[in-house]
Structures are given as structure tokens and as C-alpha cells.
Chain A
Amino acid sequence: MNLAQLPILSIVTYLPLAGIALICCMSNKRPDLIRWTAFLTTVVTFIVSLPLYFNHDASTWQMQFVENVPWLQSFGVSYHMGIDGISLLLVMLTTFLSPLALLSTWSAVTERVKEYMICLLFLQVGMLGVFCALDFFLFYVFWEVMLIPMYFIIGIWGGPRRIYAAIKFFIYTMSGSVLMLIAILSLYFMMYKATGEYTFDILKYHQLHIPAATQFWLFLAFFLAFAIKVPMFPFHTWLPDAHVEAPTAGSVILAGVLLKMGTYGFLRFNLPIFPLATQQFVPFIFWLSVIGIVYGALVSLAQDDIKKLVAYSSVSHLGYCMLGMFALNVEGIEGSTIQMINHGLSTGALFLIVGMLYERRHTRLISEYGGVMKVMPLFATLFLMVCFSSIGVPGLNGFVGELLILIGAFKASVPFASVAMLGLLLGSVYLLWMYKRVMYGPITNEKNKQLPDMSFRELAYLVPILVFIVWIGVAPKTFLNKMHTSVTHLIEQVNAEKTIAKTMDYGTEHTHN
């Protein structure tokens, strides 16, 4: 059989299920075996996903590695998978972060290891599915499937307020997705009216012309679902709770990948399907984005819990993603997409680092630390590098994303871009201030005097992230090239409808005269 004919997307997506099957056969008394199996499963998944990157043809915006099999024919549901340049990067991010997240919980989770690993692997299936699905039905299934393991991860292995956080997370996301479901169904019937065909094929919806007024409401429904996931101000309140209670691996996956589903949703659905509404919503989303940027940064500044600080910083960072995306130009959207990856790497790494500190001291309060640099010099160096990456120091990944987003935003609106710049300043203040309080100064707390420096395992999961942090910082073209045609096509889609609308407007005006 030819390699090219292999349903590689399905293989990548469902490989973790094989791991789950193996783990199910294992006894709970051998946690190390379970850990290794889970870890190796994710590593193999990552390796299997590499051909996606190398065989992806960056010169076309068409979906690639497509699998399209009829599924529930009477409803027009098909098993349609495929990726373009944008989803490619998110798929790679997912397969890359999963093994690292797994490694981080090696010693942190000691109870119910079996169930924990099953949840993590199951979560990976859901995430990959969301990024690959090209059928609304399939997409929705994966979108909901992913909620369950995350709910358990927070609810069972979380901190003291885990039940509250898990339920809050579930209710927030659920209410968003219900709205999305309604919107999907109305689209479904609208499609039938327009073409006489029942279909859930997302690509077909990209060609559907929807009246402006209807677009508005449908956009709003999708917007709520995704804005909760992103999360945009003011729908962000579930995030700090979920992060603080979740175990390290949960936080890494949550920040690294789950939040990207919101932004990905905007790119895949809102922009191309509702281009008119998109244009209409730009000022509104700009407002929410810059409020999120500034508010997230200010709240971070006030935190004493490092994990909460990082959680709120996500609100600020994702604000940049949204700002860049709705600038609706190449720089903005490319910057926004690269910033999704950056945020996955940098914030993922920050959560890993918080996890390391927590494993040593079992506290996350900044005031409990101080002077850690003296006992953990290697840790201090890598920690500083991650902070630099997150605040966008030139030469590291954050800078590239910020620069492109701000260029895009400047082209779209000077005032909003100016406010976003102030956010950059706040961003460097809260992170470096936290770093200073944790790492510098004399060691005031006796317990900090004996902290061991990083272990080999900890290096093994932090260093790969740092490699990419530098890589994107100095050679972003490797990644930007992959998405360029897809982004250009997306912008054409948004603008095409605008010109149609303009000519229609012109036409009506003409008749009035």
C-alpha cells in the first residue's frame, strides 16, 4: 500500500486510543509501566504526526491529507478530516506538547495513575479531532468529547477547590457549545433551503452566502462559544479557577491547546462563513481584546499565586491573538496564529515551571519564595528565558508574534494598537516582577535553602520547548511559510463577500436614485 494513501490524520488522531487499550489491560499496581506506556504512546503519536509537517504542501490553501467517507448519509454527515496550513501548526503543537505534559506529572500524580493517563490520552484524541474535523457534526462530537476528560482531570486530580473549578469549567464551556449547536443547526437548514442538500460539510458552508442580518446572529452564537473558550474578557472567569486547581499537565494542555480551540474556531468558522458579520464585529472585538489585554495584565500584577498570575496572563495574551486576527490582514492573522503557538509554548513552559516549584515546596505563593536563584541556578536561567519569551524579548518567539500582531493592528486601527502596546509594557512588568520576587534577593525562608536543582526528567520536558522558543524567534519563516497561503486565502474569503455586499449596496442605492 502506498504511504500517501494511508489515512494519516485518523492514525494520528486515534493512536492514543491504542495506548488507552494497552493501559486498560494493565494492573493499577504497576504505575511506572502505565506511565511509560502513556508516554511512549504520545511520543509515537508525535513521530507519526511529523510526516504531516514534512509532506504538507505550503503552496496551496486547499485542505490536505483529506479523508472523506460518508457516515450518516441520511443526515448528510460524513467523516471528513483534513488540515490546512493553520490547523497543521495546531496539530503539531498538540502532539508536541502532550508527551512533555505527561512527563511533568511523573511524580506529581501518584493516585489513580491509570485513570489519569487514560484521561490525558483521551483528551489528546479530542483535541486532535477538533483541529482535523471538516464536518460540523464530527467537529461537535470532538469538541464535546474533549470536555469530559478535562472535567475529570480537574475534578479528580485537582487542588482543594477542584469540584467547584471543574463544574464551573464544564458549565461555562457547555453553555457556549449549546449556543454553537443551535447555530450549526440553523446553518444546516439554511443550507438545505439554499441548495436542497443536507450536509454538515464545513467547506461547503464557506461558499454559502448568508444575508447580513442572519450572519449577525449566527456570528454571535459562534462568538459566544469560542469567546468562552479563548477566553475573552468578560467570559474568562472560569480560567483562573480551572488553572489553579488543575494538575500541572492539565494546566499545560489547557493553556497550550484547549484555549487555542477558541481562536481556531474563529479562524475556521466565524471569519469565512460570516464575513459580513465579521467586519461588523471588528470594533466590538477590538474593544474586548484591548480590555482583556490590559485587564488581564493588571490582574496578574496583583496576584500572589504564581499559577493564578500565569492564568491571568493568558487572558492578556489571548487578547493579542484576537486583536491580530480581527485586524483582518495578512500580518495580523499570521501574527495571531504564530502567537497561538507561542502562547502554547511559553505559557505551557511557565506552567511546567510552576509545577516544578510546587513539587519542591507544595506552595505557589510568591511570598513563600525569594532567593531561589542561589540554590537553583540552572532553573533560574531557564525560567528567565521562558519569561523573556513570554514578554516578547527580541530573538525569542514572543517578539515575532507581537510584532506581526501590532503591525496588523496598526494597519487596522491606530488607537487600539496603541493601547495594546501599553499592555506589552504591563506584560513585562508583572512577569519580571514575579521573577524578581521568586528568584532574587536573600533566601528568607529556611525551606528554600535545600531545594534541589532541575532533574534530568525536568530538563527533558523543558528543553524541547526552549528549542522551539528560540527557533520561532530567529527563523519564524519555517512556520509562517506553512500558513501563508491558507491565511491569504482566508482573507480573500472575508473580503470577497465584502465586495459582493458593496456592489449590492451600490445597486440598491442606484435604484433609489
Chain B
Amino acid sequence: MVTILSIKPLLAVLASLIAAPLILISGKHQNLREFWSVAAGVVKFCIVISMVPVIFAGNTIEYTLFHIYQGIDIKFRVDAFGLLFATVSSFLWIVTTFYSIGYMRSNKEHAQTRYFTCFAISLASTIAVAFSANLVTLFFFYEALSLATVPLVGHKETPEAQEGARKYFLYLVGLSKTLLLAGVIIVYTVAGTTDFVSGGLLKNVPGSTLLFVTFFLFMYGFAKGGVMPVHNWLPSAMVAPTPVSALLHAVAVVKVGVFSILRVVFHTYGVDAMTRMNIGTTAAYIACFTILVGSIIAMTKDNLKARLAYSTVSQLSYVILGAVLLTPLGMTGGIVHIANHAFSKITLFFCAGSLYTAAHKTEISQLSGIGKKMPLTMAAFFIGSLSMIGVPPAAGFITKWYLALGSIQAHQVPILIVLLASTVLNAAYFLPVTYKAFFQKEDNPGHGHGHSHGDDHGHHGEPHEIPMVVGPLLLTAIISLAIGIFPNYFLHLAQEVLR
């Protein structure tokens, strides 16, 4: 294994950071402004992809940005795990940009320049988190991401949106400034550095109550991971425009949370130390609780985005669960679920946005018969649902398969039961949506009008799907299937992480 010094990780971060001011100054020329977003996305993705062969060959790439204190650097390090996350998020950024253009223009949203600028900064921070070489750097960009996304959550500037943004800020910044910073400092005082080391920085450190507690400081400090009870910001953040919910709250923000937790599991504590300190089991049961309760709450929600939000809370804990099972198969399942869930959940959110743009429908109870009018959207939704439930050949199946094997490997029958129960719950809250859309007759028009205020806002004609919106969601739906059938790219990276 060779460490290569290269500026590429920095360039990947800078690509969208440089785009941000360009977007800001070309605010008056819509097409030019969107050109910058797309161009930055493509450049970023190409830079990320160009690092794949190096990483597949078992090498790592490093770049030190600046030195802060003894043992504390702001430094980038690209390894298989970071690369997996970076590929997914930089690719989905391009898709989401196209989707955003369609969505924002069709809905005539205000402050689009601010929206695209913040989006670019968020992505720069996300990639920087993926490539962070130590906890301090990670903390650095984790905070940057929180701050850059607050304006996106509060985009609508209604009291509800402001409340959502406030909650979002308090949860994410508040918990990171207290629990997470404490965790980082404890690791620094114990190890003298916070670098991510393969096999774990604390591999040889004797276990102690302090380190046991510290792990949970991380688990809750990374509140973006949505482990209950610090999940509440996520449903509130759904007031944001749908592309924000899609990219940030299915991919970038929440995945940064679980990604960071996994980083701590693999590269700060390390599997050996986790096992020795007996952290895994406790953490696994917390994750199981979140999986079940998240799903149960999701069933009670009629608002489509709220249901998706709770489904996200539940699915994020799959990733955490896989990692803290601490068995090779379980960890593989956790890692690949970062990608699998990203593609499937973004499809579902895109569908929710498409329904809103075309038909102004936000509640599941309004969806009767919509499948005939918006077949592509609902078909994609169906694929996304299958993946969430874990039906082959959709991507989610790969995750469930590995997680189930992992829990057997760990001799944890209760966890296996939780996984099966959760599958049933997933089916119970996702399948009725599709059923309603395709097989139920539309409510009589008079009744329908009383319910859906959206119809009064000028969409009197038949809802029609907007190409700029439907294109991206079909693409992600197809990819959700494709990575279920050909999971090798992500599995290979996952094995590289565990090696």
C-alpha cells in the first residue's frame, strides 16, 4: 500500500466552492448560473472518478492543507471508504442540479441564486468530509455543511420554514459543538492525534469507561446520522424545497452523519477496540430501536415527505447497525447501504417533488389514481419502494442480504428478527402508496377539490410530468436497479475498506 501525495482531493472540494461565487455573480442570467452548477458538478465527478484506479490498487491519496497544532492538521486523505461516498454524492449532485432546475423554475421559487450558491457550498463540504484525514478536519467541514444548509432548509422563509431551520440548526450545530467536540477532544487527549488509521487509532489503547461513553458522544454528536432520539430535526427539515430534501436529506447531510459514525467505528476505534470495549452490542440495539420506531412512525404519516423522512431515519440506522455488528459481512452491508439507500431514497424524494410540481399533491391520501396520469413517476416510486423493502433485484436487497448474514455471523438472533420485522414494516408503509396510485379509482372531483388545496393554484388541467423533473428520477430509479444487479463496484470498495 502506497501513500500518494496529490492535490486532487483539494481540487475536488474546490470545484464547487469556486462555483459558488460564480453562481452568485451570475444571478441575473439564469442559464449561465445553472451552467456553473452543472460544470462544477461534472468537473468534481471527473476528479473523483479519476482517483478510482489508484484506490482500487490499494493506495491512498493524501494532501495536507494547513497545520494547526501538534497532531492537528487540516488534511485530506482519500481511501476506499471516502471515495465510495464521494462518488455517490458527486454523481447525484449532477442529477439533482438538473432536477433542481426543472423543479425551481416550474414552481417559480424565489431566491434561486441563494439556493444554488448554498447548494454548491454544501457539496464542497460534503466531499471534504468524505476526504477528511482526521477528526478535526471532519469536524471542520461537518460544521461548514451545517451552516451552508441552514438557508436551504429555511428557503421558503415562512414561519414554518424558519422554525424548521431553527430546529435544524439547534440540533446539528448544538450537538456537534457539545458532544462531538467533546469526543474529538477526548480522542486527542488519549491518542495525541485524531488521524484516521486503518485498523483504528485507538487499536492498542486499553478500554475504559471514558472511551465507552465517548463512542456514544460521537454517535449522538453526529446528529446528522439521525439516531433516535436526536432524529427530530430531519422531519422538520422537510419544509425545504424537495430537491434539498432529496439531495441533502437523503444523500449529503444524513449520509455525512452515518459516514462519520462509520469513520469513527472503522478508523478511530477500529473493529478490535470496538469488540474489546464491548461497544458494538449496545450501539447495535440503539440502531435497532431506531429502525423499528422510525418505521412505525412512518406508517402514521400521511404527508408523503414526512413518511419518507421517517423512512430515512429508519434506513440510516441500517448503515450504523451494519457497522456496529462488527462482522465482515455486516460491515459490508452497512457500507454498501450508503450507496444503495442514496440512489433509492433520492428517487423517492424526486417522485414526491414531481407529484408536487405536476399535480400539487403532498398527501398520500390524495394520490388515488395518480398512476394513470403520471405513470413514469409512480413507476420510479415503485422501484424505489422495492429497494427500501429489500426486494431483489433492487439495490436494497443487497444490503438486507449482507446485514442478515452479518447478524447471523455475530450470533445475534434478535437483530435478525428486527431486520425481518422492519422489512414487513417497510412494505406496510410503502406498498399502499403504489397500490393507491395505480389501482384505486380517483376520488370524485368535488371531494378531491375540497381536500387538495393545491389544485386551486392554477393547475386546473390534467397534471403532466415535466421532462426536466422526470428525467433525473428515471435515471436514479434505473441505477437503483442496476446496482442491485451489478453491485460489484460498491462491494469492491467496501471490501477495500475492511481490508
Contacts and interface: CB of A to CB of B under 8 A. Distances in A.
A199 B185 CA distance: 44
Given A404-B69, A475-B66, A480-B69, A394 B174 contact: no
A406 B177 contact: no
B67 interface: yes
B181 A393 contact: no
A425 B185 contact: no
A457 interface: no
A286 B139 CA distance: 27
Interface string B175-190: 0011001100110110
Interface stretch (A47-55, A64-72, A255-263, A416-424): A416-424
Nearest to B141: A394
A480 B69 CA distance: 8
Interface in B109-144: 136, 139-141, 143-144
B405 interface: no
Contacts of B143: 393-394
B185 A403 contact: yes
Interface in A432-448: 432
A424 B189 contact: no
A389 B182 CA distance: 20
Contacts of B74: 474
B230 interface: no
B57 interface: no
Nearest to B175: A425
Nearest to A331: B69
A291 to B, nearest CB: 18
Contacts of B144: 393-395
A410 B186 contact: yes
A428 to B, nearest CB: 6
Interface string A456-485: 000000000000000000111100100000
B177 A428 contact: yes
B185 A428 contact: no
Contact of B181 (A414, A424, A429): A424
A411 interface: yes
A400 interface: yes
Interface in A346-404: 388, 392-395, 399-400, 403-404
Given A393-B143, A394-B143, A407-B189, A474 B178 contact: no
B156 to A, nearest CB: 13
B139 A394 contact: yes
Contact of B69 (A395, A411, A476): A476
A403 B139 CA distance: 11
A421 B68 contact: no
Contacts of A428: 173-174, 177
Contact of B178 (A331, A404, A425): A425
B49 interface: no
Contacts of A388: 147
Contacts of A392: 177
Contacts of B174: 425, 428-429
Nearest to A475: B66
Nearest to B173: A428
Contact of B185 (A400, A410, A475, A480): A410
Contacts of A480: 69
- Residue picked from A403, A410, A428, A429, most chain B C-beta under 10 Å: A403
Interface residues of A, number: 29
Contacts of B147: 388, 393
B181 to A, nearest CB: 6
Contact of A407 (B141, B188, B210): B188
Q: DSSP class of A's interface residues: helix, strand, loop or mixed? A: helix
Contacts of B139: 394
A411 B189 contact: yes
Contacts of A425: 174, 177-178
Nearest to A384: B147
A283 B484 CA distance: 60
B140 A424 contact: no
A476 B68 contact: yes
Contacts of A331: 69
A406 B178 contact: no
A421 B173 contact: no
Contacts of A432: 169
A168 to B, nearest CB: 34
Contacts of B177: 392, 421, 424-425, 428
Nearest to B182: A421
Contacts of A399: 140
Contact of B66 (A394, A403, A417, A474): A474
Contacts of A410: 182, 185-186, 189
Contacts of B68: 400, 403, 476-477
Nearest to B210: A414
Contacts of B72: 403
A424 B182 CA distance: 11
A317 to B, nearest CB: 15
A496 B414 CA distance: 58
A446 to B, nearest CB: 21
Contacts of B66: 474-475
B140 A394 contact: yes
Contacts of B210: 414
Contacts of B69: 331, 400, 403-404, 476-477, 480
A407 B185 contact: yes
- Which of A394, A418, A422 has the largest count of B CB atoms less than 10 A from its CB? A394
B140 A395 contact: yes
Interface string B242-256: 000000000000000
A388 B144 CA distance: 11
Nearest to A476: B68
Interface in B140-171: 140-141, 143-144, 147, 169-170
Interface in A106-129: none
A477 B67 contact: yes
Contacts of B136: 394, 403
A323 to B, nearest CB: 13
Contacts of A418: 182
Given A393-B147, A394-B143, A421 B67 contact: no
A280 B254 CA distance: 47
Nearest to A392: B177
A176 B56 CA distance: 67
A377 B89 CA distance: 32
Nearest to B179: A421
B179 to A, nearest CB: 8
B94 to A, nearest CB: 27
Contacts of B189: 407, 410-411
Given A399-B140, A428-B173, 9 more contacts: A393-B147, A394-B141, A403-B136, A403-B185, A421-B181, A424-B177, A428-B174, A432-B169, A475-B66
Sorted from nearest, which 8 A-B pairs have the closest CB atoms?
A394-B140, A421-B178, A424-B177, A425-B174, A410-B185, A394-B143, A425-B177, A407-B185
25 contacts: A331-B69, A388-B147, A393-B144, A394-B139, A394-B143, A394-B144, A403-B68, A406-B182, A407-B189, A410-B185, A411-B189, A417-B182, A417-B185, A418-B182, A421-B177, A421-B178, A421-B181, A424-B178, A425-B174, A428-B174, A428-B177, A429-B174, A474-B74, A475-B67, A477-B68
